[in-house]
Amino acid sequence: MEAIIEIFKAYNGTGYYCILFIIALIYLWFTEEDKRIKALLVYAPTLIQIVFFVPYFYMIYDRLDEGTYYRILWLLPMTVVIAYAGCRVIGVHTRIGLALLSAILVMSGTYVYKSVYMTPAENAYHLPQEVVDICEMIKPEEGKERVWAVVPTDLAHYIRQYTTTIQLAYGRDSMVQSWKRLENPLYDIYLEPVIDLGELSKYATEYNCNYVVIDKERILEGGTPEEHELARIGATTNYDVYRNLKVDFFDAEE
Amino acid sequence: MMILKILILVLILILVPFACGLVPTFFVGRNRTTTPVIYLSGLVVCLALFQLMAVPIVIVCDFGFGLIKTLYTIVLALFSIAGIVLTVFKVKRDGKLLAQASFSRNLTIEEIIEWIVFACIVIFQLVMFMRMASFDGDDAYYVVQSLLTTQTDTLYRIRPYTGLSTSIDLRHSLAVFPIWIAYLSGMSDIHPTIVAHHILGLLLIPYTYLIYLEIGKNILRRERNKLPIFMIFVAIMHVFGNVSIYTNATFLMTRTWQGKSLLANVCIPGVIWLMLNIFDSESQEGDRRLGLWFVLFSLNIVAAMSSTASVFLIAMLIGVSGLVLTVREKNIQILLRLMITCVPLVVYGAMFLLI
């Protein structure tokens, strides 16, 4: 039951929209006369809400699709119920009602474009421009074999959204702690505040990486890149891009 | 060249769905057949056709994207022609246009201002969709899957995260929404990441509001003057609905191009819209609703396309709503008919469990 309550709290965040929804539901419960609207917008959501809190239901659902139990709450037509009850409650005072309820909705909610996950788009791909620049540096020419690269963790999500001709030594499946993640020594190296170039070079070569990208601010130890046959071929504002000379391209002989 | 690409997208995303929507709405009474209803129905049918056609090819063919593109284009063309032919037949028979005007009564100045306010909020959202980038880790799977499909012609045979070859990812391959995005990309020759991150919201955000508009029209039938107010409230709750990362509003605004958002913002409100209309007690002469049942059936296929696990959610929504309506109306036929529309959910659900 605690887990369900945690999911409910996490879903509703500040909780104000949830409170408005419950108030709207109660209001419609007592005032709505249309049987069909009452059934679909009052009784059914109430029943779904009750089922949501049943621990056995949670256990069964979690077995079917682990970690997505919050989606049951998508079935509650919160937006429709709040908006409809709002329209009903303002009666004939539409101007003041619209202004007042709009203000309540604005103050109760959280502005989506202030989210930490939102940033101004730097290009039509909506990928960081540095990712595009790095990909342009290392992607194979048209008709050539795909290349392998290893990149810092903050770039790993993006690279293959630009081009799949660049393959990665580790990806998101090694990064998400809650998954049965794939162990990858290169990912572990990039997690360290200090990067041992000897280790990085060794594993990059073992994983056939033609290119290695390193965060400029990261402290490097264990010699210089040149000593490990990492030739700097370019840079962006925050990253250095190296060609790993120990690994030939797949179609090098052609 | 860019104009041609945009025209192709307009054709596939606007004109073809409209033509396809004429097929189910042929079996809907004229009083319910408005322009938005035709378009809403049409896109649902287009997506359902894609799911029906693409899943078997994904399972059987390692390199099947070319085949999907060709076959689906032919199917869309045939369905569009069928829609147009049926409409011509209906117009000749009835001597009337198919759709009645959405705004059949005169608006007051106040209502016009309210509609303008609502339009401004939606336009603001569309501009922000194009100007703001939203980070979501799941894109490393879904968007890359679309890109892989267009760049390699393969279907779920390569790990999106790294690029290593793998056996077919059956669990994800039942929900082919990323392949539909690849189809849009393949036909328009626009990079799939641009289609997903920069273009798709221009379709799906207004489409979601169109569903809410139809819901509003239905429940505010006796207070039609409040429809723009209803829509303003809905729009505000989407702009300010980011109370957590889990809400449907957050998904619409920040993960518009993912199947999960399609589920939360198209399939679920879509079911409510259709059920409100199908079980509408106010009936006029010639008020046929068979087409709406067909759209509900198709919407259940689209639910499976959005996310395979979603079949359980939609089944629950239809089941609970149907049960409540059955008890209220004391009519077991309601539940039995709704169960028939859930056949796609049962089939995809069984496949999901068996895999």
What local confidence, expressed as pLDDT, does residue A97 receive?
Answer: 96
**Res. A145: pLDDT tops 90:** no
- Per-residue DSSP letter, B308: T
Is beta strand A147-150 parallel, antiparallel or unpaired with respect to A166-168?
Answer: parallel
**N- to C-terminal Cα separation, chain A:** 63
Rounded to two decimals, what is the model's pTM? Answer: 0.94
Asked if A156 reaches chain B (Cβ–Cβ under 8 Å), the answer is yes
Domain C-terminal end among A75, A91, A114: A114
Mean pLDDT confidence for B195-219: 96
Instruction: Report the run of H or E that residue A230 belongs to, with start and end.
Output: strand A230-235
Same domain, A99 and A148: no
Distance (Å, rounded) from C-alpha B144 to C-alpha A51? 36
Three-state DSSP at B176 gives coil
Domain assignment present for A88: yes
Domain C-terminal end among A52, A87, A114: A114
Three-state DSSP at A122 gives coil
Distance (Å, rounded) from C-alpha B154 to C-alpha A24? 49
Residues 6+ apart with CB under 8 A from A212: A149, A150, A200, A201, A204, A230, A241, A242, A244
Same domain, A66 and A152: no
Residues 6+ apart with CB under 8 A from A160: A166, A167, A168, A171, B140, B144, B147, B160, B161, B163
8 Å CB contact between B56 and B68: no
Angle at B272 between CA B268 and CA B273, to 5 degrees: 110
Give whole-number Cα distances, B186 to A140, B10, B161, in Å: 21, 14, 21
Q: Which chain A residue is nearest to residue B195, measuring alpha carbons?
A: A125
Q: Which domain holds residue A85?
A: 2-114
**Treating both helix axes as pointing N-terminal to C-terminal, what angle do B200-219 and B109-131 enclose, rounded to 10 degrees?**
150
Domain assignment present for A156: yes
Three-state DSSP at A149 gives strand
Domain assignment present for A173: yes
Mean pLDDT confidence for B94-108: 66
Interchain pair B313, A71: CB under 8 A: yes
Asked if A208 reaches chain B (Cβ–Cβ under 8 Å), the answer is no
**Res. B310: pLDDT tops 90:** no
What local confidence, expressed as pLDDT, does residue A205 receive?
Answer: 95
What is the per-residue burial (b if ≥16 Cβ within 10 Å, else e) of B165-191? eeebbeebbbbbbbbbbbbbbbbbebb
Mean pLDDT confidence for A71-92: 96
Q: Using CA atoms of A102, A108, A113, A117 in order, give the dihedral in degrees to the nearest 10.
A: -160
**Res. B85: pLDDT tops 90:** yes
Confidence tier at B283 by pLDDT (50, 70, 90): low
- Per-residue DSSP letter, B14: I
Mean pLDDT confidence for B163-189: 91
Three-state DSSP at B325 gives helix
What local confidence, expressed as pLDDT, does residue A53 receive?
Answer: 96
Same domain, A138 and A107: no
Domain assignment present for A9: yes
Mean pLDDT over each residue of chain B, to the nearest integer: 92
Residues 6+ apart with CB under 8 A from B263: A71, A74, B303, B306, B307, B310, B313, B314
Asked if A59 reaches chain B (Cβ–Cβ under 8 Å), the answer is no
**Min Cα separation B96/chain A (Å):** 31
Same domain, A60 and A144: no
Same domain, A95 and A155: no
**Res. B101: pLDDT tops 70:** no
Confidence tier at B238 by pLDDT (50, 70, 90): very high
Same domain, A148 and A223: yes
Give whole-number Cα distances, A79 to A93, B64, B219, B247, in Å: 21, 40, 13, 11
Confidence tier at B92 by pLDDT (50, 70, 90): confident
Interchain pair A79, B247: CB under 8 A: no
ipTM exceeding cut-off 0.95 for this assembly: no
CA A164 to chain centroid, in Å, comes to 19
Side chain identity at residue A94, one-letter code: T
> What is the count of structural domains for chain A?
2
What local confidence, expressed as pLDDT, does residue A249 receive?
Answer: 85
What local confidence, expressed as pLDDT, does residue B314 receive?
Answer: 96
Domain assignment present for A170: yes
pLDDT tens, position by position, B105-158 = 688 999 999 999 999 999 999 999 999 999 999 999 999 999 999 999 999 999
CA atoms within 13 A on the CB side of A67: 2
Instruction: Report the run of H or E that residue A231 belongs to, with start and end.
Output: strand A230-235
What local confidence, expressed as pLDDT, does residue B100 receive?
Answer: 56
B315 closest CA partner among B324, B329, B304, B326: B304
Confidence tier at A157 by pLDDT (50, 70, 90): very high
**Res. B242: pLDDT tops 70:** yes
**Res. B286: pLDDT tops 70:** no
Mean pLDDT over each residue of chain A, to the nearest integer: 93
Same domain, A17 and A69: yes
What local confidence, expressed as pLDDT, does residue B281 receive?
Answer: 75
Q: How is chain B split into domains, by residue range?
A: 2-101+108-280+287-354
Same domain, A29 and A87: yes
Domain C-terminal end among A114, A145, A180: A114
Q: Which of residues 62-81 of A touch B (CB under 8 A)?
A: 64-65, 68, 70-75, 77-80
Chain A residues within 8 A of B313 when measuring between CB atoms: 71-72, 74-75
Instruction: Copy the structure tokens of residue A33.
Output: 């006369």
What local confidence, expressed as pLDDT, does residue B227 receive?
Answer: 96
Domain assignment present for A120: no
Lowest mean pLDDT among A44-48, A118-122, B248-252, B349-353: B349-353
What local confidence, expressed as pLDDT, does residue B133 receive?
Answer: 96
8 Å CB contact between B186 and B66: no
Interchain pair A109, B246: CB under 8 A: no
Is beta strand A194-196 parallel, antiparallel or unpaired with respect to A219-221?
Answer: parallel
Instruction: Copy the structure tokens of residue B355.
Output: 């895999």
What local confidence, expressed as pLDDT, does residue B266 receive?
Answer: 97
Same domain, A98 and A139: no
Asked if A39 reaches chain B (Cβ–Cβ under 8 Å), the answer is yes
Chain A residues within 8 A of B130 when measuring between CB atoms: 121
Residue with tokens 């390193």: A214
Asked if A172 reaches chain B (Cβ–Cβ under 8 Å), the answer is yes
CA A107 to chain centroid, in Å, comes to 26
**Min Cα separation A242/chain B (Å):** 19
Angle at A190 between CA A184 and CA A192, to 5 degrees: 110
Same domain, A199 and A162: yes
Angle at B105 between CA B100 and CA B107, to 5 degrees: 130
Nearest to B137 among A112, A172, A174 (CB): A172
Three-state DSSP at A196 gives strand
What is the per-residue burial (b if ≥16 Cβ within 10 Å, else e) of A28-60? beeebebebbbbbbbbbbbebbebbeeeebbee
**Res. B103: pLDDT tops 70:** no
**Min Cα separation B216/chain A (Å):** 8
Distance (Å, rounded) from C-alpha A85 to C-alpha A155? 46
Domain assignment present for A124: no
**Min Cα separation A96/chain B (Å):** 11
Side chain identity at residue A88, one-letter code: R
Interchain pair B230, A17: CB under 8 A: no
What local confidence, expressed as pLDDT, does residue B294 receive?
Answer: 95
pLDDT tens, position by position, B48-70 = 999 999 999 999 988 899 999 99
Same domain, A69 and A42: yes
Between B97 and B203, the more confident residue is B203
